[in-house]
Chains A and B, each alone.
Chain A
Amino acid sequence: MPVLLLQILVFGAYTLALVFLAGEAFNWKEDRRLFYVGGNRITLVPMVGTFVATWMSAASVLGYTMWLYADGYVAFTGSVNGWLIGLVLMPFIVRKLRVSRALSLPQWLGETFGDPRLRSLSALALLGAYTFYMVIQFRAFGTIVASLLDIKILVASALVYLFVLYTTFGGLPSVARSDTLNLSLIVGGVTLAAATLLGKAGSLGAVHAALAERAPGMLHPWTEGWSPLVTTLMMLSWGLGVAANPQYAIRLLSARTTRDAYNTLALSSLIIGLIYAGLTVLGLSAFVLLPNVSAASDELAFTRLFSAVLPPVPAIGLFLAVLAAAVSTANSQLLLAACSLCYDLSPREGRNRGDLVTEDRFLFRNRIAIAAIATATLILSQFRMPGVLLIGRYSWTVVAICFFLPLYVIRNPRPRGLFVPLSAALLLHLFLTVFIRLLPELALLPALALEGLLYFRPWRKQP
């Protein structure tokens, strides 16, 4: 069978499965609790599906693999181990979150400190961060589908737009259902591709022996540009950023029981570890088999590289895994961005639950917001602006400044006590990134330190 026909068939089957699964989750009697947090009734299997599929974004599957291919182990030490630090911290916030009846993390923050300003500030940060981060998912999906189906990138990006819109319109129940399918595709695609490539390269030992001979620098956990200190600091700040990311915290709130929330974290860490190990094998083996593949973008280099080193079936499986990763992360972020806009930033409509008609209108406005944010993302994804990615990284760290301390450090919230420390931390972060030109991730650490210092005021005498 010609490869293009096979690719069209596989893509068609994925589309149909997504339409069927997400469509089943649409509910005629829905309210905002069902829409945003699945009525706090999501059971273990879809919980693990949506947690891991959201975790594995196109940046993890494609970005990490290509970074590993280019620079070797520095990517493994800095990013994978850094992201996993965030996962290690998460079990500690389960109880704290589960006692709340909030529908969003900005709402939780505002209510915990009795300060509506915190809710608006953090919702604004979330809206910005997720909009820019979705651009990465749209780009990855667009480039790969364009190459798979031999169509223009704009048409392919429009396809991801439709996929993401469709799955997000049904709220978290529909996102969770489609994510279970997406997770199976990510695990299956990465495992098959990694096993095939390892078979071609010989063994893990052979891959490392070839690296030691041809590019010994790739075996070092840090490079000349990334000293051990910078690597460790980046690892730490990525860990803190992931730990404070509301897209994971909201899932812990959505679980049916506290037990399910703990079990989700326990199982997810194993699956995430398996996928990262597979991606590491892929990146290193691909370098040994075919070094020096380059292209205008990481996405193009990825499709070119793996089309060349893998036979058609595992290659299609891997590309489908990237698509599944992009869709599953984008729909989750889109839902949270719309929630920030319609629920947390709209003082009148967003605060109180009304009757059924009001509720229906409120959810209709949410769907309009979902379409508007997705359209803005689609337009942004068509411009090859490096600035967009930098703004994405910047907004990401802003989200971490908003949520890390309240989620993990502050045990007894002081009413209205966080707004000033948080604002000061945001200003310091802005100063360090804009004027001192520090990387946003590195500027996060002093900003968090200042926030903690101003909140706890250790120089004050305890009463």
Chain B
Amino acid sequence: MTNPGTFPLYLIVDWLLFAGLVLAPLFISLALRRRHR
């Protein structure tokens, strides 16, 4: 069982930033591809 104190807020922010940075190129590329078609 995960102790909630194990994942402090700044780690959650860190992982969310990571997820955002991984997904951003996907969405930006698809949007630019559509715009320039």
Contact = CB atoms under 8 A, between A and B. Distances in A.
Nearest to B25: A269
A73 B21 contact: no
Interface in A238-292: 258-259, 262-263, 265-270, 272-273, 276-277
A450 interface: no
Interface stretch (A81-89, A174-182, A333-341): A81-89
B1 A205 contact: yes
A76 interface: yes
B2 A208 contact: yes
B8 A219 contact: yes
Interface in A93-108: 94-95
A212 B6 CA distance: 6
A265 B14 CA distance: 22
B32 to A, nearest CB: 5
Contact of B30 (A208, A262, A268): A262
A408 to B, nearest CB: 13
Nearest to B11: A219
A263 to B, nearest CB: 7
B25 A212 contact: no
A87 B25 contact: yes
B14 A76 contact: yes
B36 A209 contact: no
Interface in B4-20: 5-8, 10-11, 14, 17-19
A221 B22 contact: no
Contacts of B3: 205, 209, 212
Contacts of B8: 219
A89 to B, nearest CB: 9
Given A73-B14, A212-B5, A270 B21 contact: no
Contacts of A85: 21
B11 to A, nearest CB: 6
A213 B14 CA distance: 20
B18 A76 contact: yes
Contacts of B5: 212
A262 B17 contact: no
Nearest to B18: A81
A73 B9 CA distance: 13
Given A219-B8, A262-B32, A266-B26, A87 B2 contact: no
B33 A87 contact: no
A277 B7 CA distance: 16
Contacts of A205: 1-3, 6-7
B13 to A, nearest CB: 8
A211 B3 CA distance: 12
Contacts of A363: none
Given A76-B18, A212-B5, A88 B24 contact: yes
Interface of B: 1-3, 5-8, 10-11, 14, 17-19, 21-26, 28-30, 32-33, 36-37
Please name the 9 residue pairs, one residue from A and one from B, whose CB atoms are nearest each other, closest first.
A205-B2, A273-B22, A84-B21, A269-B25, A262-B33, A266-B29, A208-B6, A262-B29, A91-B29
